[in-house]
Each structure stands twice: as C-alpha cells, then as structure tokens.
Amino acid sequence: MTELELLGPYAFGVPSAKAILKATPADFQVEEQLDIALSGEGEHLWLWVEKQGLNTEEVAIQLSKRAKLPVRAISYAGLKDRQAITRQWFSLHLPGRQDPDFTTAETEQWKVLHTIRHHRKLQRGAHKSNTFVICLQDFQGNPQQLEERLNSIKQQGVPNYYGTQRFGREGFNLLKAQEFAEQKILPDKRHVRSRLLSSARSFLFNQVLALRVRQGIWNQIVAGDLIGFSGSHSFFPASELQANDPRFTALDIHPTLMLWGKGHLATTALAHQLETAIAIQNQPICAWLENAGLEQERRISRLVVSDLRYELHEHHIQLAFSLPVGSFATVVLRELVQLETINEGLLCAY
C-alpha cells in the first residue's frame, strides 16, 4: 500500500521540492522532554541514555543484562528510532540494591549520560513531548516556496495523521489486521494482537482525517464536532464554544476524530455523518475492534508543530521543532518535501 492510501491528501498540496531523509544517523536527532520532578531517592533508578543503531527495546535488554534484572523491571516512556541519535529515559526497579556501574558496558551504540533515583517507575507516555533536530540532505526545490510552506505549518499545524510506520512496511500490519478482521478472529500472541489492532484503529482515524482534508475542513470546526485541548484526552461539544473563540486560532483547541471501539459515537450532525461513513465502509474492521474490547476514544485532528526553526542552505535544510507524545515527525516533513528515505525507521514521537 502507498503512503497516500495509508494516510491521505496533503494539507498544502503535493510538495514540488525533494530531499533525502536520514543520510546519516546524525541527520535525525530526537530527545524526550520530561516534566516530572525527580526526587533523587527511591527504589527506582532513572537513566538518561543516548543511543544510535539500536531501538529502545534492544537498549532495555542490554540494561537488564548489565543490571542483572529481568527485562520486565526495565521501563521506558516511548519507542525511539534505531537509525538516529536519540536521548531518552529508562527506569530500573532496584529495591534495596546499589546503583549498577554502566560505564564499562557502554559502547558506540549507547551510553548513560545521567542517573537519578525516584520513588516511582517510568510510565509509558509519561514524557511531555519530543524535540527534533533534522537535516534534510540534497535539497532540490524553490527556497521561497519551501519557506511559504514552513510559515503555513507554523500558523496552521498539519493533519495529525498516524505515520506509515504505524502500518508496517508497505502496510503489512494493516493488511494482516484486515485478514484477521475478515475471519473474525484475533492473533494468539499478545504483542502481535496489540500491533495489528493499533494499525487497524489508526487506519480508520486516518480515513476520517483524509476525508476532512479532501473537503478542506481538517482545520475547521464543523457542526457536531467534539473539541479537545492539545495534550489532553478530554473533549467537549463544539456547541459549547463561544463564537470566534480565540483558542482555536491560537492552536490551543482542535476538532477530535474517532478512535473506533465499543460504545456510542458521541459526535452529531455533519461530524457524525463523516465518521459514520468511514465506519460503514470498514464495517469488518470496526466489528473486529469492538470484539477485541477496545472502547471509543478521540484524537485531535491538528498536529501543532511547536518552536519550529529552520535554516535554508543551498543543498540542505536544517529543522528543529517539538511535537507532542504519540505524533509522527514524518507527517510534518511530508508537507515540506517529497522524501527519499535511505534508512527506514520509526520516525515517530512516542
């Protein structure tokens, strides 16, 4: 399956410029931003780790071996790309034990930059955001047009699609999910089941968002919408908004779209019609998600790109920006240039 099939239309039209993503690991750097005050004491040791050439789970395994702990005693907030330089937090459960010495275990692929004790373990999704520093090499295009797109992204954000990485190479995970949905069965292995359910649910979200992008209403409030705040899982009816509420223009509140599951679809009017249309078109997947026990949830339709800075050079573009947890850097980059990716990876901001 193609990117256009898995995601949807571009918000600002197909870009004419081209560039290479991740020519080297240093061209893609991501760092977790934590807003938790660490106490300095407790039975959990938190580690600030820099890595490249390994994914997050592989680093967790190496930490568990060095600390002589089961892998389940190692926690992390989110997954980070293998082909990149990334900095993220891990926590180790060490009740009544001294801090392990990691200095002799470090390699060119990973090293511990800082350690601190805390009374709680690190939870998944506990970080506030991710910051990115990205270099797009071999840029070919009109610098003025690129700058216009960058300014549009600053002012409007981009459609909050789930990136192609969610669906596996060429949509493999989604295709497998559709097979299981048609057979009305679930995979036996828990991690496979979780991955396929996530792919199917994300695809339905992308389909609704793609429909609104095609209609030019992805960044507008329509009748029956449910509105959500950036960084919050709560939402409320658009009818409760006062006319011309400045928070919408300021990118503080956004329309939300369905993450399918059991329960009542809470939108009404036009918003309900759009979501129901996609659900009808994908009835086997919807039924499959419901039978798996997933509940109706919501996700905002706009991805706000914070602290966006850029430098345009003759042959490359240097970008820096921040994204909330659970969003994908590639959905920002795709609005700028047509990407050639040398090294495949997650490229998401978990």
Element of type H or E holding 178? helix 172-183
* 140: CB partners within 8 A, 6+ apart: 17, 18, 19
Q: Which amino acid is at 347?
A: L
Which burial class, exposed, middle or buried, applies to 131 when counting CB atoms under 10 A from its CB (0-12, 13-18, 19+)?
A: middle
Q: How far apart are CA 199 and CA 167, in angstroms?
A: 5
Among 133, 129, 118, 119, which residue's Cα sits nearest to residue 47? 118
What are the b/e assignments for 207-236, b being 16+ CB within 10 Å? bbbbbbbeeebbbebbebbbbbebeeeebe
Q: How far apart are CA 319 and CA 218, in angstroms?
A: 25
Element of type H or E holding 94? none
Contact 259, 205 (CB under 8 A): yes
Contact 298, 263 (CB under 8 A): no
Q: How far apart are CA 262 and CA 219, in angstroms?
A: 27
Would residue 81 show up in a list of annotated catalytic residues for this protein? yes
Q: Spot the catalytic one: 27, 35, 81, 101.
A: 81
Give the DSSP per-residue string, 6-48. Answer: HS---SS-----EEEE-SSGGGEEEEEE------S-SSEEEEE
What does residue 113 show for φ and ψ, rounded to 5 degrees?
-90, -30
CA distances from 245 to 100, 159, 322 (A): 53, 21, 25
Radius of gyration of the chain (CA): 21
Q: How far apart are CA 45 and CA 38, in angstroms?
A: 10
Q: How far apart are CA 18 and CA 319, in angstroms?
A: 15
What does residue 289 show for φ and ψ, rounded to 5 degrees?
-65, -40
Residues assigned a catalytic role: 81
